[in-house]
């Protein structure tokens, strides 16, 4: 299914949900969102995971200076530019404002104020110390109350827990995709779709997995340039994946929000059984999110250690020394600032890194392609 088809079917899905009286909550924030809480209340989460382009970025400039990350700019463009490319965004009733990064705050606020979407706030502490966990809990309870105020119905604990379990199972299935011997682009399509729909498409993903499991084709041999992809996510409709594969690259691990950071945030059965209060479970997930880029002061170091280990394990298993593409959306506070430190630290450990910084303009495509090709030749 290509992206047009995906978006069309998503449009129908949301229309259907809306027709059934469901409320839709759109959000930019990349991590730590308690989607289960929304679903338990009968809301439909709408993650804004769509890539940008020149027109969309331009359309944001009456709200934000051009030195804002191009993803954030494009999110405004999706709501403000005409003709609308993603009409289903009009179906969103609410915007979740969260502080994953400050651009998330600003854009959510702009969308809420200028495009007439009610705003729900969900702030997350900047560390994961014990008080930060308590604070996370406060915010969860606050959000729960706000949602209950809208629906005029209490969300029973068991409903939240059911959703947590449902999402947990779903993520475990999605994780299996990461182990399939298929090209990175196909994995990415599945991850993007999984985040868009959530457990509603579990059966479909299970089917895909079983069909691929019988596939014995070795992707590694047809794409010898295996790489890990980290940094900012690849959003729907981005051409970047094509550039990487056209240059002979194959992504074996998406170490990004759309990818490992999504499917790896699961609980063991013991943990689920041991924590009765669903709010405690959601808090536990935040506590365990050691690689999430929202928090300081250790997430980067944790990531570096993880990547080094992954590269070494991979080397032991397949004999290949894989490189790392660090994708940086221009003006991203989280990944741009660190880029030279990140590269230096991994290179000291013998891992080759390409810092690939870009915006969503068409004009940059040729340059990206050249840089990716040069990197592929190097590894």
Q: Which residues bind ligand SF4 (CB under 6 A)?
A: 30, 69, 71-72, 100-101, 103-104, 232, 329, 332-334
Residue 74 and residue 69: Cα distance in Å, rounded?
9
Contact with other proteins (CB under 8 A) among 62, 82, 116, 221: 62
Contact with other proteins (CB under 8 A) among 85, 176, 336, 352: 336
- Are the C-beta atoms of residues 230 and 261 closer than 8 Å to each other? no
Residue 339 touching other proteins (CB under 8 A): yes
Contact with other proteins (CB under 8 A) among 32, 80, 125, 266: 125
Tokens of 286: 């935040």
Residue 330 touching other proteins (CB under 8 A): yes
Output the CA–CA distances (angstroms, integers) from residue 354 to 78, 229, 344, in the order listed.
30, 10, 11
Shortest Å distance, C-beta 322 to other proteins: 24
- Are the C-beta atoms of residues 32 and 286 closer than 8 Å to each other? yes
| Candidates 44-52, 79-87, 123-131, 319-327; binding stretch for other proteins (CB under 8 A) | 123-131
Decide: helix, strand or coil at residue 13. helix
158 touches, from other proteins, ligand SF4, none (C-beta below 5 to 8 Å by class): none
Shortest Å distance, C-beta 195 to ligand SF4: 14
| Candidates 50-58, 108-116, 156-164, 237-245; binding stretch for other proteins (CB under 8 A) | 108-116
Residue 318 touching other proteins (CB under 8 A): no
Residue 138 touching other proteins (CB under 8 A): yes
142 touches, from other proteins, ligand SF4, none (C-beta below 5 to 8 Å by class): other proteins
Task: Pick between residue 132 and residue 272 the one whose CB is nearest to other proteins.
Answer: 132
Residues 6+ apart with CB under 8 A from 94: 23, 24, 25, 26, 43, 117, 118, 119, 120
71 touches, from ligand SF4, other proteins, none (C-beta below 5 to 8 Å by class): ligand SF4
276 touches, from other proteins, ligand SF4, none (C-beta below 5 to 8 Å by class): none
| Candidates 10-18, 241-249, 283-291, 294-302; binding stretch for other proteins (CB under 8 A) | 294-302
236 touches, from ligand SF4, other proteins, none (C-beta below 5 to 8 Å by class): none
Residue 342 and residue 166: Cα distance in Å, rounded?
36
Please write down the long-range contacts of 363-371, taking CB distance under 8 Å and 24 or more positions apart.
365/239, 365/243, 368/240, 368/243, 369/243, 369/246, 369/247
Q: 3-class secondary structure for 121-184? A: EECCCCCCCHHHHHHHHHHHHHHHHHHHHHHCCCCCHHHHHHHHHHHHHHHHHHHHHHCCCCCH
């Amino acid at each position: 299914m290509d992206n047009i088809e995906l978006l069309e079917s998503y449009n129908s899905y949301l229309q259907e949900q809306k027709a059934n009286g469901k409320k839709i909550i759109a959000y930019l924030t990349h991590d730590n969102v308690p989607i289960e809480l929304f679903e338990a209340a009968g809301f439909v989460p709408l993650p804004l995971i769509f890539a940008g382009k020149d027109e969309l970025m331009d359309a944001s400039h009456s709200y934000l200076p051009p030195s804002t990350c191009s993803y954030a700019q494009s999110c405004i463009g999706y709501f403000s530019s005409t003709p609308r490319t993603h009409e289903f965004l009009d179906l969103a009733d609410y915007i979740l404002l969260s502080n994953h990064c400050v651009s998330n705050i600003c854009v959510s606020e702009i969308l809420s104020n200028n495009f007439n979407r009610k705003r729900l706030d969900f702030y997350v502490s900047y560390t994961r110390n014990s008080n930060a966990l308590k604070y996370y809990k406060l915010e969860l309870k606050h959000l729960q109350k706000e949602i209950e105020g809208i629906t005029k119905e209490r969300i029973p604990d068991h409903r939240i827990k059911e959703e947590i379990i449902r999402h947990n199972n779903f993520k475990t299935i999605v994780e299996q995709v990461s182990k399939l011997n298929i090209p990175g682009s196909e994995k990415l399509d599945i991850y993007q779709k999984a985040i868009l729909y959530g457990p509603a498409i579990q059966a479909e993903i299970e089917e895909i997995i079983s069909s691929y499991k019988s596939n014995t084709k070795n992707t590694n041999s047809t794409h010898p340039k295996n790489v890990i992809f980290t940094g900012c996510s690849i959003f729907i409709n981005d051409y970047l994946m094509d550039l990487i594969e056209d240059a002979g690259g194959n992504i074996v691990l998406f170490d990004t929000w759309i990818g490992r950071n999504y499917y790896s945030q699961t609980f063991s059965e013991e943990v689920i059984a041991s924590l009765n209060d669903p709010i405690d479970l959601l808090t536990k997930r935040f506590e365990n999110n050691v690689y999430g880029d929202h928090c300081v002061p250790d997430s980067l170091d944790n990531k570096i250690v993880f990547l080094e280990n992954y590269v070494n394990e991979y080397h032991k298993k397949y004999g290949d020394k894989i490189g790392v593409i660090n994708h940086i959306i221009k003006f991203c506070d989280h990944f741009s600032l660190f880029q030279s430190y990140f590269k230096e630290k991994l290179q000291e450990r013998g891992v080759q890194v390409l810092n690939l910084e870009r915006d969503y303009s068409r004009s940059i495509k040729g340059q990206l392609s050249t840089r990716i090709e040069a990197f592929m030749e190097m590894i």
